[in-house]
Amino acid sequence: MKQRQRAPTTDDVIRAIQKDCERQAEQVHERLGEVVAALRDGVTVRALGALVGVENEIADLSAILKLLVRTPSGIRLEAREIPQRKSPKRGDKRQ
């Protein structure tokens, strides 16, 4: 008898998206390595060719990561530090 698969949880989906983001970031890293290699070889045209599409890939990756940071989840997501507001001093009329 075939067992039913459970529906993916939010954490499962986030982990899958994070894994895909990691793969995309590695591809961008590889492409930038090609740019560096071409520039070291003095072949500017090859460096420029290696950059084609990288800007869009970085923009897409950045947008997805920004959404992930705002996603409520049980898994650990690093959040920005929230600056603490100083309490007003006595006699200080600003608030």
Structure tokens, 86: 């100083």
pLDDT tier, 95 (very low <50, low <70, confident <90, very high otherwise)? very low
Local structure of residue 89 (DSSP, 8 states): P
Verdict on whether the full-model pTM lies above 0.85: no
| Distance separating the N- and C-terminal Cα atoms of the chain | 67
Spell out the domain ranges in the chain: 11-69
- With CA atoms as reference, report the closest residue to 34 among 14, 53, 15, 7: 53
Per-residue pLDDT tens digits for 41-69: 999 999 999 999 999 999 999 999 998 88
